Amino acid sequence: MNKFIVTAFSALFAFAGAAFAQGGPNDAQIAGIVVTANTVDIDAGKLAEKKSNNKEVKAFAKQMVTDHTGVNKQATALVKKLKVKPEDSDTAKSLKKGGDENLKKLKGLKGKDFDKAYIDNEVTYHQAVIDALDKTLIPSAQNAELKETLVKVRPAFVAHLEHAKQIQQSMK
Amino acid sequence: MSWATHIQARRCARALRRPAAVLLAGALVFGWGTGLFAAPAAKSHTVTIEGVQFSPATLEVNAGDTVVWNNKDPFPHNVTAENKAFHSPDFAGGRSWTYKAKTKGVFPYVCTLHPNMKGTLTVK
Mean pLDDT by 10-residue block, N- to C-terminus, for chain B (124 residues)?
51 51 48 52 94 96 97 96 96 96 96 93 97
Q: What is the pLDDT of residue A172?
A: 83
Q: What is the pLDDT of residue A6?
A: 53
Contact between A158 and A127 under an 8 Å Cβ cutoff? The reply is no
**Domain boundaries along the sequence of chain A:** 25-170
Interval A144-165: pLDDT, tens: 999 999 999 999 999 999 999 9
User: Any CB–CB contact under 8 A between A48 and chain B?
Assistant: no
Tally the C-alpha atoms within 13 A of residue B77's C-alpha that lie toward its C-beta: 30
The CATH classification of domain A25-170, taken from the options 2.40.160.50, 1.10.3470.10, 1.20.1260.10, 3.30.750.24: 1.20.1260.10
Contact between A40 and A98 under an 8 Å Cβ cutoff? The reply is yes
The fraction of chain A above a pLDDT of 90, given in percent, is: 83
Q: What is the pLDDT of residue B29?
A: 46
Q: In sequence order, what are the residues at sequence separation of 6 or more whose Cβ sits closer than 8 angstroms to the Cβ of residue A3? A: none
Q: What is the pLDDT of residue B35?
A: 46
Q: What is the pLDDT of residue B115?
A: 86
Assess whether pLDDT exceeds 60 at residue A11.
no
Interval A117-126: pLDDT, tens: 999 999 999 9
CA distance A58 to chain B (A): 12
- Chain B residues within 8 A of A63 when measuring between CB atoms: 113-114
Query: 10 Å Cβ neighbour count for A85?
Result: 10
Mean pLDDT of A59-72: 96
Q: What is the pLDDT of residue A22?
A: 54
Assign A135 a pLDDT band (cuts: 50, 70, 90). Answer: very high
CB–CB of B52 and A158 under 8 A? Answer: yes
Q: What residue ranges in chain B does DSSP mark as E strands?
A: 44-49, 54-55, 58-61, 66-71, 80-81, 96-100, 105-111, 114-123
Find, among A135, A110, A132, the residue nearest to A53 by Cα.
A110
CB–CB of B76 and A66 under 8 A? Answer: yes
ipTM of the complex: 0.79
User: Any CB–CB contact under 8 A between B54 and chain A?
Assistant: no
Amino acid at B5: T
Q: What is the pLDDT of residue B19?
A: 52
The fraction of chain A above a pLDDT of 70, given in percent, is: 87
CB–CB of B114 and A166 under 8 A? Answer: no
Assess whether pLDDT exceeds 60 at residue A41.
yes
**Domain boundaries along the sequence of chain B:** 1-38, 44-123
Domain B44-123: CATH superfamily, name plus number: Cupredoxins -  blue copper proteins (2.60.40.420)
